Amino acid sequence: MTNPLVVDGLTYELRRSPKRVTIGITVDRDGSLSLTAPEDCPEATIEETARKKQLWVHTKLAEKRLLFRPRAKKDYVTGEGFQYLGRSYRLLLVDAEADSPAPALRLRGGWFELRRDERHRAEEHFVGWYIRNGEPWIRRRVGLLSDRIGAEPASVCVRELGYRWGSCGLGGNLNFHWRTLCLPPRMVEYVFVHELVHLVEPHHGPGFWRRVERVIPDFADRKRWLAENGGRY
């Protein structure tokens, strides 16, 4: 169960959990704030904790505003770069062929080829391309990592997730942002492991990070890189 809680002008989403023994504060990628507390923790104690962490919260909010500034709008012109698994591929506008029309968008010979007559729907075609081509790759990689972690997701989907790279939903359903396919493979692996470990460790406590470290010993470096550079993708 969640409830909004306003402390000195900052609005938090308050979650209570019977498994929680301490009060935790999270600043999400989109700047939203959440507090997780034990079920029987008095609200006054929660507010006091939030006030003590105010400087830290404001610092994190400032970092988010810097790192996640709006991306430059794509023009979809020949020569423009688009990322796929950490590599940049240039866009080439091509004319439709009457006898055997090419797909609206395809990756061929190191170029993304977009039909000129479909440029007005370019963003839609790119999102669809990433989902269609990335989902099988993601499912294979998640399957391999599942064996190492000992947790099997009920389903794996690629979709639009706003400011989140991935999410672990009820029933063990894993969702990944289609933009995950733009990241370097090492960072994609970190996102996969992060969400898979949530199948057995719902919260970001010490047990969660120990499990992540068993699979990715340098997870802290990858986590830091993603926080500092993820906004570019």
- Contact yes or no for 137/178 (Cβ under 8 A): no
Sheet of 166-168, strand order = 155-159, 173-177, 166-168
Answer yes or no: is pLDDT of 177 > 70: yes
Pairing of strands 173-177, 155-159: parallel
Phi and psi angles of residue 115, each rounded to the nearest 5 degrees, phi first: -65, 135
Q: How far apart are CA 233 and CA 107, in angstroms?
A: 19
* Highest mean pLDDT: which range of 1-10, 19-28, 70-79, 217-226: 217-226
Nearest to 178, CA basis, from 118, 228, 137, 119: 137
| pLDDT value, residue 69 | 56
| pLDDT value, residue 28 | 80
**Tokens at residue 67, please?**
């790192």
Answer yes or no: is pLDDT of 1 > 90: no
| pLDDT value, residue 163 | 77
Sheet of 10-17, strand order = 2-7, 10-17, 33-38, 24-27
CA neighbours closer than 13 Å in the CB half-sphere of residue 175 = 12
Answer yes or no: is pLDDT of 18 > 80: yes
- Contact yes or no for 23/46 (Cβ under 8 A): yes
The residue whose two tokens read 């009920």 is 154
Answer with the residue of higher pLDDT: 64 or 168: 168
Q: For residue range 190-207, what is the model confidence (pLDDT) as tens digits? A: 999 999 999 999 888 889
Q: How far apart are CA 218 and CA 8, in angstroms?
A: 37
Mapped onto helix, strand or coil, the DSSP state of residue 157 is: strand
Q: Give the lowest-confidence range in 77-91, 103-117, 152-166, 219-233.
A: 219-233
**Tokens at residue 88, please?**
């940049």
Q: How far apart are CA 190 and CA 220, in angstroms?
A: 10
Q: For residue range 19-61, what is the model confidence (pLDDT) as tens digits? A: 888 999 988 867 788 899 999 999 999 999 999 999 888 888 8
Is residue 180 packed enough to be buried (19+ CB in 10 Å), middle (13-18) or exposed (0-12)?
Answer: buried
For the chain, domain boundaries: 2-67, 81-119, 127-232
Topology (CATH level 3) of domain 127-232: Zincin-like (3.30.2010)
Phi and psi angles of residue 35, each rounded to the nearest 5 degrees, phi first: -120, 130
Q: How far apart are CA 65 and CA 117, in angstroms?
A: 37
Q: For residue range 66-118, what is the model confidence (pLDDT) as tens digits? A: 555 556 689 999 999 999 998 999 999 999 877 777 899 999 999 999 999 99
The mean per-residue pLDDT over the stretch 144-161 comes to 92
- Contact yes or no for 44/61 (Cβ under 8 A): no
- Contact yes or no for 26/56 (Cβ under 8 A): no
Q: How far apart are the first and last CA of the chain?
A: 33
Question: Across all residues in the chain, what is the average pLDDT?
Answer: 89
| pLDDT value, residue 71 | 61
Full-model pTM: 0.71
| pLDDT value, residue 27 | 86
Q: What residues have CB less than 8 Å from 76, skipping those under 6 apart?
A: 91, 93, 114, 119, 122, 123
